[in-house]
């Protein structure tokens, strides 16, 4: 049972990493020329707070 949980967590982590990589690659190709240039950042704290807020509703 614990092996199944570990495999599921690894799969979710791999899927999230794959999504972030593809998202960044698409952002490099289809860049908005009117938008100011800023380094890409992923604020994990803000994402976690938003997910907790939506979970409580």
DSSP 14-43: HHHHHHHHHHHHHHHHS--TTSPP------
Per-residue pLDDT tens over the stretch 8-32: 999 999 999 999 999 999 988 887 7
Counting residues of the chain whose pLDDT is more than 70, the rounded percentage is 75
- Helix (H), strand (E) at residue 1: none
Q: What is the pTM of this model?
A: 0.49
Alpha-carbon distances of 2 from 5, 7, 14, 32, 48, rounded to whole Å: 5, 9, 18, 45, 25
Query: What is the mean predicted confidence (pLDDT) over 26-51?
Result: 72
Q: Answer yes or no: is pLDDT of 35 > 70.
A: no
Direct distance between the N- and C-terminal alpha carbons of the chain, in angstroms, rounded to an integer = 31
Q: Answer yes or no: is pLDDT of 57 > 90.
A: no
Q: Answer yes or no: is pLDDT of 38 > 80.
A: no
């Amino acid at each position: 049972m614990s092996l199944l949980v570990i495999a599921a967590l690894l799969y979710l982590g791999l899927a999230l990493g794959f999504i972030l990589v593809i998202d960044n690659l698409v952002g490099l190709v289809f860049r908005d020329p009117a938008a100011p240039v800023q380094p890409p950042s992923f604020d994990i704290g803000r994402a976690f707070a938003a997910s907790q807020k939506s979970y409580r509703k």
